[in-house]
A = this chain, B = another copy of it.
Amino acid sequence: MDLSDSPGRHEGEAAEAVSGTGDGPAPLLIEATRGAMVESRHQVSYAVSDVEGRIVRHGGDIEGPVYARSAIKPLQALALVESGAAEAFGLGDAEIALACASHNAEPRHVETVLAWLARIGCTPDDLECGPQMPARQADAAALLRGGGKPGPEHNNCSGKHSGFLSVARHLGHPTAGYIRYEHPVQQRVLGLLESMTGLDLSDAPRGVDGCGIPVIGIPLGNMALAMARLGDPGDQPEPRQAACARIRRAMAAEPFMVAGSGRFCTEIMTVTGERAQIKTGAEGVYCGTLPDLGLGIALKAADGAGRAATVAMGRLLVELQAITAEEAERLGDVLTPPVLNRAGRRVGELRAKSI
């Protein structure tokens, strides 16, 4: 069964069993403990798809539309590679990984974006993503102590936006307004998403992302299918296959550029290398591709909590054996993050209940 015909349906299951109204497998429960009890609880819906669109594992609602937010940046980056822009501008792993990134705006992230913009004849003023303070206190402090202030190059999406500008430059489109739904760059990205998810998205619900680009409602099942295809694009045209491989290689080679110091995406990919590429998104979304297994993962915390999505992704990676037991032990707190108080004392933890 192909998800492009019937999103999110488990082969051999009755249709109502995955309706997400309570009869199908339950969402993953993530708990935040403090001292003697569970303080808060999150529910995470998730889908794991193979490249044929067979849902091999799921829980919760995987048919209702979800905004993938930044979790599908690796899919959006296909436009940068497939259009020939990446090659024409001589972009390397660092830039391509940045196009897939929600970065911390650490010095290397920002310097690489600025050099990239200069290479395509643009400046930070061309970025339409809005300003954002660097994520880490030390970087924010250094910026402010030097008399600076956050600009669009510090926005966690500045790599993705530099990618969009590169496509516009390469194809001769105007750069102004490149974030609008109607702009040829965004229409190209929409076409790529349709092709990878197997859906006609022209009537899908949409809105505006934190960085100004369109967000499109896509069921988790189809998001997982698209991520499976990113990892194993054997049924795709040759240029798409090459672009998928290029993006995976860049993320595996430059995990720091995809997020940054201490970040879950970076920590996990530093361990998994080419075995798994994962990407976080705002409002509790996470996507991942497992090329060796031919599987894609998409998940969403119903309440939008990033802490829950992170723990859920870690749990799925372990369950799917994309992370070995030995690696899981080494990762420790990365998979089961402590809750710390302001003095740095461990007062609880985040944990997944058994699937």
Contacts and interface: CB of A to CB of B under 8 A. Distances in A.
A98 interface: no
A211 B345 CA distance: 10
A150 to B, nearest CB: 9
Interface in A208-224: 208-212, 215, 217
A137 interface: yes
A145 B149 CA distance: 11
Contacts of A147: 145
Contacts of A347: 207-210
Q: So how many copies of this chain end up in the complex?
A: 2
Interface stretch (A37-45, A116-124, A189-197): A37-45
A48 B222 CA distance: 43
A212 B342 contact: yes
Interface in A152-174: 155
Contact of A145 (B37, B41, B129, B145): B145
A133 B137 CA distance: 9
Nearest to A207: B35
Contact of A304 (B39, B207, B210): B39
A258 to B, nearest CB: 19
Interface in A264-306: 283-284, 301-305
A345 B214 CA distance: 13
Interface in A34-82: 34-37, 39-42, 65, 67
Interface string A10-52: 0000000000000000000000101111011110000000000
Contacts of A308: 303
Interface string A117-143: 000000000001111110001001100
Contact of A205 (B35, B145, B301): B35
A36 B341 contact: no
A90 interface: no
Given A40-B301, A140-B140, A208-B347, 8 more contacts: A34-B215, A35-B208, A35-B215, A42-B303, A130-B341, A208-B341, A212-B342, A303-B303
